[in-house]
Structure 1
Amino acid sequence: MALKIISLTDLINSDQTEEDIKKLLFSFETIKSRSESGARDVEEFLHNKAIQFEIMGIARTYLVMSTYKKKPLLAGYFALSTRPLIIPKRQYSKISKNLQKRLMGFGHKTEQDAYEVKGYLLGQLGKNYSADAQIAKCVTGQDILHLSYSKVLDAHRIVGGRILYLECEHHEKVKKFYNDNGFSELAHYESENKLCLMVQQISKLQY
């Protein structure tokens, strides 16, 4: 089954009603058996924040669509924003000298001695685990991740940027997924939300 990416902005600006758009977004379900807050956050964002973030220009959400029984099916989604990665001085000093040297080739120090590098934040990425989506089996997490790369590369060709980064839980299965897809964890870094940081050079993205 072919996959299609639809911009939430395009949906909002189309002739579809707000009720129809919300019905589509609420067809997305996360894994109910998972105890990690990250899975719940992915669902909460799409249900209750995505439209507001889209209108305010905070992030852009893209719906990955397929079909099931000849009807449109929301297979998954991802959300991107242009946001520089800023590593506070205290965190930066904990990074290995080798990694500091590598990072310095991509960014600069701020007046507060923090480290800043231009890039894109992969704020959300989720696969639909609704009953219909699980039966259809039309997409994998890797498929959705690689589709997000296509949008990052489109933006990169227009406005530049050096890295793609994301924050995720300290969960070995989640971190392994991103490691297997080219991301590196920034050791000894923890965000204000107690999340770890995964980084990948845009020049190495493939889809």
Structure 2
Amino acid sequence: MGYITVSLYDYIDDSTDIQDLLKTFSCPLNLEVESFLKDKAIDFERKHFARTYLVFSDTFQLPSLLGYFTVALKHLAIPIDISKSFRKTITEYIDREEAITYLIGQLGRNCAVSERISGSDLMTLAIAVIYDVYLKIGGRIILVECENQEKLRIFYENQGFRLLCSNIDNNLLQYVSTVKSLH
């Protein structure tokens, strides 16, 4: 099965139609992911905080909203206690204390449809969007943040991310990788 990725930004002027579409999204395993798409994504688009991409099946009968991901830029403070080799891997400098990263802020699959998309496929689509921007403006690091749950840790590690630290401000784990190593 193939996928079509559409930027929510291109459709925010059709807010009634797009709101109806977003209401079809369900993610009972992570209500924050569901709530973001339904209640915050359009506002984030209008304020240029982040870009949300909707992923549809490419079937011609009835395309279904299979999932979505949100990308943004985020300032990252590099912890002082990480090894110099890891610091150099992610920043290219052994004494770098901060960096601007591409943040994959949301990644969610729609449980309300019979067709499914894998988390790996959603991640691949998100990386493709980031890679396109990377080719145009540069950058280096991709950041994901997640709750400290074994299933999420394993997922991100299997996607090629390495644990950087636990974010004290929001109690989330921060995982990083370079754009080049994921593309």
* TM-score, reference length from structure 2: 0.91
Partner AA of 1:194 in structure 2: N
Match of 2:44 in 1: 53
Percent of residue pairs identical: 37
SS in 2 for 1:136: coil
SS in 2 for 1:20: helix
Q: 2:171 aligns with which of 194, 197, 200?
A: 194
- Measured after TM superposition, the shift of residue 68 of structure 1 is 7.0
Match of 2:108 in 1: 126
CA contact (8 A) 1:108 1:116 kept: no
CA distance in 2, matches of 1:146, 1:75: 14
CA distance in 2, matches of 1:107, 1:76: 38
Matched, 1:162 2:140: yes
CA contact (8 A) 1:68 1:136 kept: no
Matched, 1:6 2:6: yes
Instruction: Could you list the structure 1 runs, at least 4 aligned residues long, displaced by more than 4 angstroms after superposition.
Output: 106-109
Alignment of 1:89-104 (within 5 A): 92-104=79-91
- Aligned Cα RMSD in Å? 2.0
Q: 1:148 aligns with which of 126, 129, 145?
A: 126
- Measured after TM superposition, the shift of residue 104 of structure 1 is 4.9
Count matched residues.
Answer: 183
- Measured after TM superposition, the shift of residue 106 of structure 1 is 5.0
CA contact (8 A) 1:106 1:162 kept: no
| Structure 1: segments with no counterpart, 5+ residues | 110-114
Q: Please tell me whether Structure 1 or Structure 2 has the larger radius of gyration of its CA atoms.
A: 1
| Structure 2: segments with no counterpart, 5+ residues | none
* TM-score, reference length from structure 1: 0.81
Shift in CA distance, 49/184, structure 1 to aligned 2, threshold 3 Å: same
